[in-house]
Amino acid sequence: MLDDLKLIHERDAQDALGVAEKQWQQLGHVFDVKVSKLEGITDVVVAGMGGSAWPALYLRSWPGLSVPLEVVSNYDLPSYVDKHTLLISSSYSGNTEETLAALAEGEERGAQIVVMTAGGQLAKVAEEHKHPLFLIPGGIQPRMSSFYFLAALIQILEPQGLVPAGSLQELRSVSDWLKDQPMSWRAEIPTTKNPAKQLALELMGKSVVVYSGPKLFPAANKFKICLNENAKNIAWTNYYPEFNHNEFIGWSSHPEQKPYAVVEIRSELEHPRVQKRFVVSEKLLSGKRPAPEIIKPEGDNLLRQLLWTSNFCDFASLYLAILNGLNPTPVDLVEKLKAELNK
């Protein structure tokens, strides 16, 4: 099925595979806005939902912030938010009600605010209240715009001295490398030579569990989201070593043939004890859970591995959508939910 190009193009009517292949271009996007020097920033809060929020999780792995960072996917902000907080309000559509509510609360508390959006009500509020506005290019799904958001975040934070100097240059330098990585994942590459198609076939008909270490967790989390939204497939994620303190035991009973597929993202950049935990856990759970499908990230540094894994997993989730008989782009149920909430 995955070697039938006509079928792929019929099901992927909006060419999500083409969007995934060109994601490298997003890393070099230059936003036509400058943020004045912010004073007295002691913490950063990114308020957003779904694909508009999770790119901020990358910042914990790469490049790391000089102040605490919290990602808030809720209507309410943490109690500590005040004039010393940099509040980054993020919504691709610009109409996400939780994000708009958090922004209004941040304004009341005097937070220093920057907005990331492709338009909608959030853009209007930013213009009216003179918040710096990083306008994300529109026309694609939020989950496929994640590298735009990452580029915007670095362009916000580096001039403020909140991430290491040179982070933006490093991000842009990786784009050329990433450009060539999807060549073996494209639709015209047969399944026998296409690891993304092979992984999708292993996941077909199963609930997917994605594990990683802490450093690669942002990519694992993105895979979970794309399995949900692209393939309309249930999935969840966790990371080592936390896995070994609870979920590990959850695999130890019931029949071996559980209706799950286990994916593990194993990077040699993780702490040595984390790497050993993968191996020991697999040994101890042999016969208790399905053998894991192992993804070994490509790249000689953390940023490359994060972006490579994210891009590879995008392709796998899109092929799983096609195997599931679905168009990966629409999220109709979300739109129905919004309509019901607004009644």
pLDDT of residue 139: 92
Residue range 52-65: mean pLDDT, rounded: 95
Q: Is 6 exposed, middle or buried (0-12, 13-18, 19+ CB in 10 A)?
A: exposed
Residue 41 pLDDT grade (very low, low, confident, very high; cuts 50, 70, 90): very high
Per residue in 43-53, pLDDT tens?
999 999 998 99
Per residue in 81-114, pLDDT tens?
999 999 999 999 999 999 999 999 999 999 999 9
Residue 258 pLDDT grade (very low, low, confident, very high; cuts 50, 70, 90): confident
* Mean pLDDT (the chain, rounded): 96
pLDDT of residue 255: 67
Q: Contact at 8 Å (CB) between 136 and 149?
A: yes
> What is the DSSP secondary structure assignment for residue 289, as one 8-state letter?
B
Every domain range in the chain assigned CATH 3.40.50.10490: 5-12+180-323, 31-176
Per residue in 292-324, pLDDT tens?
999 999 999 999 999 999 999 999 999 999 999
pLDDT of residue 246: 97
Query: Rounded to an integer, what distance in angstroms lies between the CA atom of residue 273 and that of residue 251?
Result: 21
pLDDT of residue 338: 86
Query: Rounded to an integer, what distance in angstroms lies between the CA atom of residue 53 and that of residue 190?
Result: 35
Query: Rounded to an integer, what distance in angstroms lies between the CA atom of residue 70 and that of residue 111?
Result: 14
pLDDT of residue 335: 86
- pLDDT score of 257 more than 80: no
pTM confidence score = 0.96
| CATH match of 5-12+180-323 with 3.40.50.10490 | yes
Q: Contact at 8 Å (CB) between 206 and 215?
A: no
Q: Where are the alpha helices (DSSP H) in the chain?
A: 5-11, 16-21, 58-61, 97-108, 120-129, 146-157, 167-179, 195-203, 217-229, 247-250, 272-284, 302-323, 332-341
Cα–Cα–Cα angle for 257, 279, 246, rounded to 5 degrees: 65
pLDDT of residue 253: 86
Residue 256 pLDDT grade (very low, low, confident, very high; cuts 50, 70, 90): low
Residue 41's nearest CA partner among 135, 123, 111 is: 111
Cα–Cα–Cα angle for 226, 229, 233, rounded to 5 degrees: 90
pLDDT of residue 343: 86
Q: Contact at 8 Å (CB) between 90 and 131?
A: no
Query: Rounded to an integer, what distance in angstroms lies between the CA atom of residue 71 and that of residue 266?
Result: 25
Q: What is the CATH number of domain 31-176?
A: 3.40.50.10490
Query: Rounded to an integer, what distance in angstroms lies between the CA atom of residue 319 and that of residue 161?
Result: 41
Residue range 118-139: mean pLDDT, rounded: 97
N-term to C-term CA, the chain: 42
Beta-bridged to residue 112, according to DSSP, are 86
* Phi/psi-derived region of residue 41, left when phi > 0, alpha when psi is between -120 and 50, beta in every other case: beta
